Amino acid sequence: MATYDLEEQEQLDEIKVWWKQHGNLLINVLTGAAVIVIAWQGWNWYQRNQSAQAANVFNVLQNAAQDKDTQRLKAASGELVEKFGGTTYASLGALTTAKAMIDAGDAKTGKLQLQWVVEHGKDELRDLARLRLAAVLLDEKAYDQALQQFDGTVSPSFAARFADNRGDVLSAQGKKAEAVTAYQAALAKLDESGRQGNGGWEGQSHAVYRELVQQKLDALGGAK
């Protein structure tokens, strides 16, 4: 029995020595892990809370757009950008506001909204804003600024639209050869995506759009 007690005491002494050497490190590691878990949970809660609040403001914005209440519309859009700029709702709100303001004849405000999405939006929403801004600039005959919207990378789903709209700007500038090249690029992208399509309504819409681009190309004498 004494032997057992001695072995037990030796083990206890070893534990004490180990704890003296490594205890602080272990506590720091465990504390750090706990802080990370708590921070992650807190961040997720914050994100969910931000998204929920942004959704409420976006709902107000949509109602204002339907009512054509431009003051309430701009106020809601401003709140989304200022308080919830990191959410998708901010970009959606700016796009909605831009359309409403342009329809109301306030192209200046509309362009500012689109520019915000170009600078702060992500992926397809950013590309959509670039297309819409280019269209507004084309109407204003600001051709060089419109062409700048097509610079840089673009999401595959917008590649054909970008090439097509680039062709529209170049055609308006009288740059026939460059416009033909752009339209041909758009058709190539459409054909590529068409081979990956599933038919149905989407396939019919794709065919109609392709025919429209083909007509633009034919009008310039660029048909193959």
Over the stretch 33-59, which tens digit does the pLDDT of each residue have? 555 554 545 545 555 677 888 889 999
Helix axis angle, 123-139 to 159-172, nearest 10°? 10
- In this model, does residue 14 exceed pLDDT 80? no
From 86, 121, 156, the end of a domain falls on 121
Model's pTM, two decimal places? 0.74
* pLDDT at residue 139, rounded to an integer: 94
- In this model, does residue 163 exceed pLDDT 90? yes
Does 48 lie in the same domain as 13? yes
* pLDDT at residue 43, rounded to an integer: 43
Task: Report yes or no on 153 lying in a domain.
Answer: yes
Distances (CA, A) of 13 to 25, 26, 27, 66, 220: 19, 18, 20, 77, 92
- In this model, does residue 65 exceed pLDDT 90? yes
User: 31-35, 76-80, 163-167: which has the minimum mean pLDDT?
Assistant: 31-35
* pLDDT at residue 206, rounded to an integer: 79
CA dist 158 and 180 (Å) reads 19
Does 94 lie in the same domain as 4? yes
- Band of the pLDDT at 205, cuts 50, 70, 90? confident
From 78, 105, 121, the end of a domain falls on 121
* pLDDT at residue 52, rounded to an integer: 86
Task: Report yes or no on 134 lying in a domain.
Answer: no
Q: Which of 86-90, 103-107, 121-125 has the highest mean predicted lDDT (pLDDT)?
A: 103-107
Does 156 lie in the same domain as 84? no
Question: Phi, psi (5° rounding) for residue 131?
Answer: -65, -45
- In this model, does residue 16 exceed pLDDT 80? no
- Band of the pLDDT at 1, cuts 50, 70, 90? very low
Rounded mean pLDDT of 145-149? 96
- Band of the pLDDT at 207, cuts 50, 70, 90? confident
3-state helix, strand, coil in the chain (%, to 5): 85, 0, 15
How many domains, the chain? Answer: 2
Q: Read off the tokens for 66.
A: 């339907």
* pLDDT at residue 122, rounded to an integer: 87
How would you classify residue 153: left for phi > 0, otherwise alpha for psi between -120 and 50, otherwise beta? beta
Output the domain CATH number for residue 206. 1.20.58.80
CA dist 8 and 73 (Å) reads 76
Q: Read off the tokens for 158.
A: 């917008």
From 121, 155, 189, the end of a domain falls on 121
* pLDDT at residue 28, rounded to an integer: 62
Task: Report yes or no on 61 lying in a domain.
Answer: yes
Over the stretch 108-123, which tens digit does the pLDDT of each residue have? 999 999 999 999 998 8
Could you count the other beta carbons within 10 Å of the beta carbon of residue 173? 16
Q: What percent of the chain has pLDDT over 70?
A: 72
Rounded mean pLDDT of 182-204? 74
The alpha-carbon radius of gyration of the chain (Å, integer) is 29
